[in-house]
């Protein structure tokens, strides 16, 4: 097929430099660490924070509401993108997200245990304000970070997913070094003859934890500035340059150079079937459903579904659960995407596992197999595979949209659907847990199910 009016840049004749590709890939991973690492860190540190907060264990429900309210801002960004059209750029939003994230995370490190008297009661105003700021930025990052990746070739989308997957793993590793999440010891109170939980001392404070997280976010900012202000993307040939009307890297171009022909070039296009509007709608619909369950519903059920099987089950799941997303991202390197049929099948399979977890949580504090070793093992496996399957489906869906959707706004709405899913999942669960009290948790050192 002849394309005489097709302009081929001279730089496209050169192969990308290997070290530049590797460095570009690494920088994208580090850059995407700033997506959710701060909010994940707040949840991981809750066992230590609630001991000093005046709200005590009502604080998690308050934080859930604060984070849910922050989801309005992604919708505002979506409206701005629609109104501004070609004048819209995600770059300023990325700088705002990372810089304000650094300030807010550092503020938590300094003022997490500061309280303010309001209406005659002490309240954690500084902490809640900082968390609300982080939630605004992290919820919006799902849109603008995905939107930025449309500028780069599809293979670098894996780096975004892998970096995002580490936002739960790195704080978990820091918390393990800190000593958060260890087993609770039940000590008998001689005066009441009852057992009371005793929590182990942390090796370093909440402030040091958040200063370490702040350092990671600063590295993320430096990585993004390196991508923007240096020629590393140009050297790696990472730009997804649009030579045809179809913005689709799957349409690989093979430039055939003939020494005998000096002025003409022939381009052979391998054009697989592009994604139809129906397929795009189906994938985005499942993206909403999967995000609602994985990021909106499951986090609120972990204590109800795991504590009936003992502190060890809860402890090991808190370690393995954050590892499932990075492993699904690694599997995405081997198999980047799936067909629409298999995305639907895997989504249904993952949702069925989550439905099983819902049933167990609803039966708390005495579900089936409670206080048994095999019950704890089954629940840990269920939590791990539900996250692994649905996270991989999300990765496969993002890659599929990047490769075969004709419009450049595909990844932007991919991120928007994730945030819509989180809202759809989080608000009903907040009502079920905190308003209607449909779930009953199991307190440590108390005997149940006799």
- pLDDT, tens digit (0-9, with 9 covering 90-100), for 187-199: 777 777 677 777 6
Measured distance CA(362)–CA(432) in Å, rounded: 10
Query: Over the range 116-152, which residues count as b (16 or more CB within 10 Å of their CB) and which as e?
Result: eeeeeeebbebbbbbbbbbbbbbbbbbbbbbbbbbbb
State the pLDDT confidence band at 423, using cuts at 50, 70 and 90.
Answer: confident
Alpha helices in 335-372 (DSSP H): 340-362
- One domain for residues 307 and 256: no
Phi/psi of residue 265, each to 5°? -130, 140
pLDDT attached to residue 435 = 82
**Whole-Å CA distances, 25 to 51, 223, 244:** 41, 11, 25
Q: Tokens 């995305």 identify what position?
A: 343
Measured distance CA(161)–CA(401) in Å, rounded: 14
Measured distance CA(422)–CA(73) in Å, rounded: 13
Residue pLDDT, tens place only, 259-317: 333 333 333 333 345 889 999 999 999 999 999 999 888 888 888 898 899 878 887 88
Token pair, residue 392, equals 């991989």
pLDDT attached to residue 272 = 47
- One domain for residues 9 and 31: no
- One domain for residues 47 and 87: yes
Mind spelling out the 3-state secondary structure of 295-331?
HHHHHHHHHHHHHHHCHHHHHHHHHHHHHHHHHHHHH
Token pair, residue 349, equals 């399979």
**pLDDT of 244 over the 60 cut:** no
- One domain for residues 255 and 311: no
Residue pLDDT, tens place only, 332-367: 999 999 999 999 999 999 999 999 999 999 998 999
- One domain for residues 172 and 245: no
State the pLDDT confidence band at 3, using cuts at 50, 70 and 90.
Answer: very low
Measured distance CA(380)–CA(358) in Å, rounded: 14
Which of 250, 239, 242 is closest to 274 using CA atoms? 250
pLDDT attached to residue 259 = 35
Q: To the nearest whole percent, how much of the chain has pLDDT over 90?
A: 42
Measured distance CA(265)–CA(255) in Å, rounded: 7
Mind spelling out the 3-state secondary structure of 250-272?
CCEEEEECCCCCCCCCEEEEECC
Asked if 391 contacts 328 with a C-beta cutoff of 8 angstroms, the reply is yes
Helix 157-178 and helix 311-334, axial crossing angle in degrees, nearest 10: 160
Asked if 336 contacts 158 with a C-beta cutoff of 8 angstroms, the reply is yes
Residue-level length of the chain? 450
CATH of the domain at 102: 1.20.1250
Domain boundary among 236, 256, 291: 236
Domain boundary among 227, 252, 272: 272
pLDDT attached to residue 283 = 95
- One domain for residues 90 and 103: yes
Residue pLDDT, tens place only, 8-30: 444 445 677 889 999 999 999 99
Global confidence as pTM: 0.82
pLDDT attached to residue 4 = 40
- One domain for residues 335 and 290: yes
- One domain for residues 181 and 293: no
- One domain for residues 341 and 429: yes
Q: Give the chain's mean pLDDT.
A: 83
- One domain for residues 312 and 265: no
User: Per DSSP, what are the bridge partners of residue 195?
Assistant: 188
Judging by beta carbons within 10 Å of its beta carbon (0-12, 13-18, 19+), is residue 320 exposed, middle or buried?
A: middle
Q: State mean pLDDT over 92-113.
A: 93
Asked if 240 contacts 250 with a C-beta cutoff of 8 angstroms, the reply is no
- One domain for residues 434 and 350: yes
Residues spanned by the domain of 244: 1-13+240-272
State the pLDDT confidence band at 383, using cuts at 50, 70 and 90.
Answer: very high
Measured distance CA(260)–CA(265) in Å, rounded: 11
- One domain for residues 127 and 139: yes
State the pLDDT confidence band at 432, using cuts at 50, 70 and 90.
Answer: confident
Q: State mean pLDDT over 20-42.
A: 93
DSSP state for residue 67 in the 8-state scheme? H
């Amino acid at each position: 097929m002849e394309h005489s009016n097709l302009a081929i840049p001279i730089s496209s004749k050169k192969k990308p430099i290997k070290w530049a590709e590797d460095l570009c890939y690494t920088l994208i991973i580090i850059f995407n660490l700033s997506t959710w690492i701060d909010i994940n860190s707040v949840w991981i540190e809750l066992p230590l924070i609630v001991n000093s907060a005046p709200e005590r264990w009502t604080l998690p429900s308050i934080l859930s509401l604060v984070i849910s309210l922050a989801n309005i801002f992604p919708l505002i960004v979506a409206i701005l993108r629609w109104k501004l059209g070609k004048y819209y750029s995600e770059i300023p939003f990325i700088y705002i997200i990372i810089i304000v994230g650094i300030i807010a995370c550092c503020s938590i490190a300094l003022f997490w245990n500061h309280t303010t008297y309001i209406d005659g009661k002490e309240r954690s105003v500084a902490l809640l304000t900082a968390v609300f700021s982080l939630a605004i930025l992290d919820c919006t990052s799902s849109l603008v970070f995905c939107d930025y990746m449309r500028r780069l070739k599809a293979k670098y989308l894996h780096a975004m997913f892998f970096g995002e997957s580490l936002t739960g793993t790195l704080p978990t590793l820091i918390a393990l070094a800190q000593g958060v999440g260890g087993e609770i010891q039940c000590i008998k109170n001689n005066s009441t003859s009852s057992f009371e939980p005793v929590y182990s001392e942390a090796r370093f404070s909440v402030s040091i934890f958040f200063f370490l997280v702040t350092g990671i976010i600063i590295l993320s900012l430096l990585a993004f500035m390196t991508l923007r202000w240096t020629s590393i993307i140009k050297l790696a040939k990472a730009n997804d340059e649009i030579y045809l009307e179809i913005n689709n890297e799957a349409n690989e171009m093979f430039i055939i150079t003939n020494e005998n022909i000096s002025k003409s070039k022939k381009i052979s296009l391998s054009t697989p079937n592009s994604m139809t509007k129906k397929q795009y709608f189906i994938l985005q619909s499942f993206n909403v459903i999967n995000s609602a369950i994985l990021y909106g519903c499951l986090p609120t059920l972990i204590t109800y579904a795991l504590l009936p099987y003992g502190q060890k089950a809860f402890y090991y799941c808190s370690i393995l659960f954050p590892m499932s997303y990075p492993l699904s991202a690694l599997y995405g390197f081997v198999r980047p995407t799936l067909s629409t049929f298999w995305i639907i099948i895997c989504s249904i399979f993952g949702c069925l596992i989550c439905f099983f977890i819902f049933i167990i949580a609803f039966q708390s504090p005495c579900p089936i197999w409670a206080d048994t070793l095999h019950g704890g093992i089954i629940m840990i496996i269920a939590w791990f595979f539900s996250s692994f399957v649905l996270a991989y489906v999300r990765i496969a869906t993002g890659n599929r949209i990047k490769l075969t959707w004709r419009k450049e706004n595909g990844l932007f709405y991919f991120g928007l659907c994730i945030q819509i899913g989180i809202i759809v999942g989080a608000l009903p669960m907040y009502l079920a847990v905190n308003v209607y009290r449909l779930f009953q948790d199991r307190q440590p050192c108390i005997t149940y199910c006799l």
